Structure 1
Amino acid sequence: MSTQLSAGGVEVTVDQENGCRISSLRIDGTELLRQGAHYGCFPMVPWCGRTAYGEFRDGAAVHKLPVNQPPHAIHGFGRDAAWRPAPAAVTATDAAFTYDLADPWPYPGRVTQTVSLDPGGSSLTLAMGVETYGDSFPAQAGWHPWFLRNLGAGGEDVRLDFDPVWQEERGPDHLPTGRRTDPQPGPWDDCFGMPYGVEAVLTWPGELELKVTSRAEWVVVYDEQPEAVCVEPQSGPPNGLNTLPRLVTPVDPLEVSMTWAWRRLS
């Protein structure tokens, strides 16, 4: 079962049964996202990227997470769960979905994701909120889109432009070392700091330009596979449950959003 949104020649498919991911974004019939059960654009929650060796500390307590990309736990549980649609919130251009945090995550809570397509078909906004049902807990949230490197119509590969303030040095274990460096040339599987908000532009020359914006201050870029380029706004860096915990409290939920805005170049 999936949810379809459409406006202005744009079609968005949300697969709520498979991690509430955007499984398809078609603009004038052209697909922008890599297809397949593990791709599209999925929410990363209640953590983003890798959590070191599947463990995080909350005060004196050490919690263990399933190690799903040895030796680390990666990308949270939301991408593997079935989410529930809120039927009253579904229109031709808007939808909302919820997912309840449960074992093996050690704290009860709820995640809400909203998907909003501009009525003119010029942008798509995703938003997530993480709430606790009880005790405060550290959490992260963000998105992992797989943008096609080439749109398949004989055009050039995508070009990525962004201007981060720093790059998190990546250790041999693929985790940030804690040292910040000047941004280095790709290819990347790296986290960057953008303290004034994420802004990145993907351009398929002669075809389409898509701008990614978010008030989040961190972005991971992954372009080591030939099929796709990933630009991932998130609320904290990889391993942030341990190094930069952001507490979700009964009066202060974690909220993050991201907008894709595009213009046709042909």
Structure 2
Amino acid sequence: MSSSEESVRLAASDVEVTVHPQNGCRIAGLTIGGTELLRQGERYGCFPMVPWAGRLAEGRFRNGDKVHQLPLNSPPHAIHGTGRDTGWRTARAEKDQAAFTYELADPWPYPGRVTQLVELAADSLTLTLGVEAYETSFPAQLGWHPWFLRDLGDGGADVQVDFSPGWQEERGEDHLPTGRRIEAQPGPWDDCFGLPEGVSVTLTWPQRLELTVTSRAEWLVIYDEQREAVCVEPQSGPPNGLNTDPRFVTPIDPLELSTTWRWRRL
């Protein structure tokens, strides 16, 4: 493990993970045997989505009789939460695991704390997010937005994505779910899927690597409309879920979610 204000590096066998706590606590790199799996760049890697995931309709949500307006960082919507634009504090860093935290603040209207635990093993990476309320309860969501490289830069075949959703959320012209569930459609996708038994998605780079993303989360967004990468995003709720499927965080009932990426070499 090495650590600085800018990065925390974890290692297990020939696997290395780099975390940039000051850049939204994103996983900036995951190398297996020297091969990078994540798209590089300050907006890429894998960032946590908190305290909401995906698009929030017109940046507004209701909590009781109060309607809150958030900045429209992806007009006409707000997208992906505030955590990715926040500097996090490194609470603990060891050889193969680290913990990070930040305090919810403007533009989010409610005080609370967010934590992310990163645990690395020779064949897996586990990420755990939590959000807790201090005083006032509020709706919240958690998720991750990894940018997996479509190809590993060695001339090999593109990644193949395999999953079996229960349904696909019909996407409206505003890119939000309409509330209607349909059969899963072929990609390319910028779409949300329901997996009532939990997320399980296998990414295969033929003759190189197989990686499976799992989570008890029942919602998954796949985004593969860019050439460089494929995004496989476990979420605790669907896009716009603060309005359509709110899960309230209270001082005695925090929200916590984990995802594990497990790999094997082919």
Match of 2:102 among 96, 99, 103: 99
Aligned partner of 1:55: which letter? R
In 2, Cα distance between equivalents of 1:60 and 1:181? 33
TM-score (norm 1): 0.98
CA drift at 1:251: 1.1
Q: Which residue of 2 aligns with 1:66?
A: 71
The offset of 1:52, in angstroms, is 0.2
CA distance in 2, matches of 1:243, 1:195: 17
Q: Find the counterpart in structure 1 of residue 3 from structure 2.
A: none
CA distance in 2, matches of 1:56, 1:142: 18
Measure how far apart 1:59 and its partner are. 1.4
- Unaligned residue ranges in structure 2 (runs of 5+): 1-5
Identity across matched positions, percent:
71
Name the CA distance, whole Å, in 1 between partners of 2:13 and 2:264: 12
State whether structure 2 residue 61 is matched by structure 1 residue 56.
yes
Other structure's SS at 2:234 match = strand
Instruction: Provide the secondary structure at the position in 1 that maps to 2:58.
Output: helix
SS of residue matched to 2:44: coil
Corresponding residue for 2:230? 229
Root-mean-square deviation over aligned CA pairs: 0.5
Letter in 2 for 1:234: Q
What residue ranges of structure 1 are gaps of 5+ in the alignment? none
Amino acid at match of 2:182: T
Amino acid at match of 2:73: N
Instruction: Describe the superposition over 1:189-222 as per-residue Cα deviations: whole angstroms up to 9, x where unpaired.
Output: 0000001100000000000000000000000000
Aligned counterpart, 1:26: 31
Equivalent residue, structure 2, for 1:171: 172
Give the Cα–Cα distance (whole angstroms) in 1 for the partners of residues 57 and 155 of structure 2: 41
- For residues 208-254 of structure 1, the C-alpha deviation after alignment (integer angstroms, 9 at most, x for no partner) is 00000000000000000000000000100000000000000111100
Q: Aligned AA for 2:238? A: P
User: What is the aligned residue count?
Assistant: 261
TM-score normalized by the length of structure 2: 0.98
| Counterpart secondary structure, 1:216 | coil
User: Residue by residue, what CA displacement relative to the aligned partner does 1:53-78 show, whole Å, maximum 9, x if unpaired?
Assistant: 01011111100000000000000000
Q: Which amino acid is the alignment partner of residue 4 of structure 1?
A: R
1:147 equivalent to 2:148? Answer: yes
Q: Of the candidates 10, 14, 24, which is equivalent to residue 9 of structure 1?
A: 14
